[in-house]
Chain A
């Protein structure tokens, strides 16, 4: 990549020369930046696929013949199918209340919604064990009732909801705040019901921002490792999600299978990035510039 940039003409029109650096410095800066990104971003991505195909196509697909791999994929899809819609509904209700109304304590509420982003994934798992684990607050009572939350699907879902909690809401709140309430007020004055106003006025205005938030939420929900690792208990074929299955295969020195399963998640990341860039390019104005994660 760095060779490519060095051979192509870079000099801007002469009237710009006063507001840019010397050509040599520009090329040096580009080369250093690209070399750094190659080393830290591109190579890790490539190595996943190279290691996954080390024993050819047969070796690659053998990793998906295993029952444990299939149940891990099934569990990850189940968890995302529960966690993402719940956070979607929460994102919509929270942003409606916060962006469309003026009330006291609003900024505190926004801070609290952002809270899960500043909690370590491992701690996110730990707090649910403190509630539902065998030695947790309600552990004994739950055990007596025969309800399993920790080391079972409900615990994994809860931890996933926690780590993906702010994604949709924090995407929608600034967007809806910017759009104001005039259009909704007009619809209501013209006799539309609240629901009709929401579905025909508000939702079309926020659909791209909503999709953007759901996209990021889903990527994190399917890829979460630390929080899920703590609450899952690593029961093979039962409570292993795709990332946890990757860890197990890797720790068993089954590298080809580990990277093959990891390549699924790498593809998910690439698709997420592609869709995200497409949304930013095509509908950037409708996303309210939500660039920083």
Chain B
């Protein structure tokens, strides 16, 4: 590498170790992440766009994709609404045990998905603690799409809470006081002064919860019942295709899922860029 090139690439610094640390970072990233993902891209392009669309048109595949994306959208929405409420209560109100409740919100991050899956299945089974209450009302959660919804709300909740919580903490008291002094009712203040700046956080939390929910596997398969065309999610169909040594079929579903989750990521970045312009922070 000539020094002229280095100068254009990197600003001079007296600290040592740039070459070796960047080199190792790129090597490790390449071997662990880029090479395997590249294998997926290579496999997908060998199938071709028409091949992918043809395979996605298969009724069982499209049913699984619709189930995954549809239930994930609803679950992320519900997780965002309750996440806003939980974040608001945790930041603005004081009550005994608040710190413990705050720590508990991260449980879905820390609890292995398989454990969450069997626990939710046991709770919402017709003879489970919650399921037994719902059964007389004619509501069946376990082994129906509703079970998928419950698992995905569980998984998405911390994303929703943790993205709005810092924004609620940042609300300036002076704004509220000004609004109250100008004669606005409390509800009006909440609606037109406090909530609008939370919108980008809410949208980001929603997108993160959605992206996570679409790919979720462990917590869903135990409670879903996994009935083809009804409660079968796309990640499970990948596993089924793999167990039949149908690598092509698995790759098609994985490619569609990856494309949509990258689109979601792009959307998150756009929301944050918009929020920086509109509100001056993320």
Chain A residues near B (Cβ < 8 Å): 1, 4-5, 8, 10, 12, 18-22, 26, 29-30, 32-34, 36-37, 39-45, 47-48, 51, 90, 93-94, 96-98, 100-104, 109, 112-113, 115-116, 118-123, 126-131, 133-137, 158, 161-162, 165, 181, 184-185, 188-189, 194, 198, 216, 219, 222-226, 229-230, 243-244, 246-247, 250, 255, 258-259, 262, 265-266, 268-270, 272-274, 276-277, 289, 291-293
B107 and A250 contacting across the interface, CB-CB below 8 Å: no
Interfacial residues of chain B within 240-264, with CB under 8 A of chain A in the complex: 242, 245, 247, 250-251, 254, 257-258, 261-262, 264
A291 and B165 contacting across the interface, CB-CB below 8 Å: yes
User: Chain A's nearest CB lies how many Å from the CB of B215?
Assistant: 3
A126/B251 contact (C-beta < 8 A), A40-B157, A225-B112, A273-B103 known: yes
Prevailing SS type, chain B contact patch = helix
Q: Please report the total number of B residues contacting A with Cβ < 8 Å.
A: 104
The docked-state distance in angstroms from the alpha carbon of A188 to that of B16 is 9
Contacts of B36 in A (CB 8 A): 127-128, 130-131, 162
Contacts of A19 in B (CB 8 A): 173, 176-177, 180
Q: Which residue of B lies closest to A42 (CB)?
A: B104
New A-B pairs, 7, CB < 8 Å, besides A122-B239, A128-B36: A33-B88, A41-B105, A129-B242, A165-B32, A223-B115, A230-B242, A276-B110
Contacts of B250 in A (CB 8 A): 126
Judge if B158 is at the interface, Cβ distance under 8 Å: yes
A130 and B39 contacting across the interface, CB-CB below 8 Å: yes
A47 and B32 contacting across the interface, CB-CB below 8 Å: no
A45 and B214 contacting across the interface, CB-CB below 8 Å: no
Judge if B146 is at the interface, Cβ distance under 8 Å: no
B118 and A258 contacting across the interface, CB-CB below 8 Å: yes
A48/B13 contact (C-beta < 8 A), A118-B262, A122-B215, A269-B107 known: no
Judge if B18 is at the interface, Cβ distance under 8 Å: yes
A226 and B235 contacting across the interface, CB-CB below 8 Å: yes
Contacts of B120 in A (CB 8 A): 44
| From B115, B162, B180, residue with most partner A Cβ within 10 Å | B115
Interfacial residues of chain B within 47-92, with CB under 8 A of chain A in the complex: 82, 85-86, 88-90, 92
Q: Which residue of B lies closest to A101 (CB)?
A: B18
Contacts of B26 in A (CB 8 A): 109
Judge if B199 is at the interface, Cβ distance under 8 Å: no
A36 and B82 contacting across the interface, CB-CB below 8 Å: yes
The docked-state distance in angstroms from the alpha carbon of A223 to that of B111 is 7
A246 and B173 contacting across the interface, CB-CB below 8 Å: no
B258 and A123 contacting across the interface, CB-CB below 8 Å: yes
The docked-state distance in angstroms from the alpha carbon of A4 to that of B157 is 24
A184/B32 contact (C-beta < 8 A), A33-B86, A36-B82 known: no
Q: Which residue of B lies closest to A198 (CB)?
A: B17
Judge if B206 is at the interface, Cβ distance under 8 Å: no
Contacts of B82 in A (CB 8 A): 33, 36
Q: Which residue of A lies closest to B165 (CB)?
A: A291
Judge if B143 is at the interface, Cβ distance under 8 Å: no
Contacts of A100 in B (CB 8 A): 13, 15, 18
The listed residue (B108, B115, B214) touching A120 by CB distance below 8 A is B214
The docked-state distance in angstroms from the alpha carbon of A130 to that of B105 is 36
A103 and B22 contacting across the interface, CB-CB below 8 Å: yes
A120 and B162 contacting across the interface, CB-CB below 8 Å: no
Contacts of B245 in A (CB 8 A): 134-135
B211 and A225 contacting across the interface, CB-CB below 8 Å: no
A97 and B21 contacting across the interface, CB-CB below 8 Å: yes
Judge if B40 is at the interface, Cβ distance under 8 Å: yes
The docked-state distance in angstroms from the alpha carbon of A40 to that of B156 is 11
Interfacial residues of chain B within 186-224, with CB under 8 A of chain A in the complex: 186, 190, 211, 214-218, 222
Judge if B101 is at the interface, Cβ distance under 8 Å: yes
The docked-state distance in angstroms from the alpha carbon of A134 to that of B246 is 12
